[in-house]
Amino acid sequence: MSEDKQSGSLIPGWDEFVDKLRALPEVVVGKLPERVRDDPQVRQELARKMQSAMVFSLFDSLAGDPDYPFFRPGNGFIFNFGQPNADTVYRLAKVRADGVYRLRGKQGAMRIAIIAQRGPFPCEPGGNVTAEQPGASLDHHDINALNVDEDGWFDVILSQTRPEGYTGDWWEMRPDTNKLWFRGVNADWTNRDIATPSIERLDIAPGGRPRPSVDYLKEQLHWLGEAVTFYSGVEMAHIENMRKEGFLNEKLTYYDTTEVVGLEGQFYFETAYELADDEALVVEATVPSVCEYWSVMLTDEVFETTDWHNNHSCLNDTQAHVDTDGKVRFVISKHDPGVPNWLDTAGHPSGQFQGRWFRSEGATLPTAKKVKLDEVRGLMPPDTPTVSPEQRDTILRERRKWLQQHRLW
């Protein structure tokens, strides 16, 4: 067997990739807040996040050919990093900015079905390697706004200029785009009528895909290590920064994600939480008069969304109980207070609460109050329903059933 003359490796780039994995724990643990850095539980949860980042990055390495793209799985319940929304299906496809692409599929009946154009991330060729965040989206395209045929199927061209003589739906490709990021929000977990975008490049030689070159495969392996490192540490300072600015428990703040990864028209509100076993955080929000979608969820210290498949740790506008005064009251705690809008910390004594209003009017920041668990009922309206342990178990089993039957990507 011959070795690569420059690296001495049987497979060029492999040793470099392994070395980056070997150095990963020191790099990422160093991003943890000092108050939890030595916590063995948090460290192992960070190791889980690193595994998620690794598999997510492998998908991009193995399926990231912009000449023969497809919408591969994004982050979510399995690849849980960067705080994925519980109601959202994420998928992404690599593209070339000078390419001409055709996207087709069933439009479906999702509340939100948007494809964002994104530029290179810090872990990709052309990205800002010193940046801690991916950067803003370059454009957003609404699948629900496209024309469809009698069977509900859309057909749209994406390119820098409209093809000559083409009169169908067309999206303009931004010159710095290198990927498309699909978000499909399904607030009704029983809905199976979801958007199914496919993608193909039109301006390449006809026929099948040629055998990938040695240089292409080496390049994919090189950037794989960069991607695992970046995604393992993404947003690690977010919760700690909130705490330092005083946004802990009873003080909420607005979070503008349009310069990071967020959707246009989305209003985020959030706070860090830290609660003893006998404490609860009661968050009171006024639902905007106009709002296409809203939800709330919890996040742990390594910026994983708290396990919503197996815990009552997120709610959306089809699930939450809204009181007769138009307000919705959430209770964040370790133990079940027996109210409809309980958000289960799943044993995490600290983390983050976050909610979002999408395309809303008159959105305001909620208020919050930390209390003893046995004081929660007194803060609820008198007609607030009581949820028994048996009822909660039934709710959890139904949630788990629908989520397992739901499309993950």
Enter the pTM of the model: 0.93
DSSP character string of 284-331: EEEPPSEEEEEEEEEE-TTSPBP--SSSS-EEETTTSPPPTTSEEEEE
Q: Where are the domains of the chain?
A: 11-54+212-235, 66-208, 238-405
Domain range 66-208, CATH class: mainly beta
C-alpha–C-alpha distance, residues 234 and 238, integer Å: 9
For Cα atoms 196, 201, 56, give the angle at the middle one, nearest 5 degrees: 55
User: Number of C-alpha atoms within 13 angstroms, CB side, residue 284?
Assistant: 13
Q: Mean pLDDT of successive 10-residue segments in the chain (409 residues)?
A: 61 94 96 96 96 94 95 92 93 97 97 96 90 88 97 98 96 97 94 94 95 95 94 93 96 84 86 98 95 97 96 97 94 98 98 96 94 97 96 97 87
- Supply 321's token pair: 């109980």
C-alpha–C-alpha distance, residues 25 and 248, integer Å: 28
- pLDDT computed for residue 221 by the predictor: 94
Domain range 238-405, CATH class: mainly beta
- pLDDT computed for residue 1 by the predictor: 46
What dihedral angle (degrees, nearest 10) is formed by the CA atoms of 372, 376, 378, 382? 180
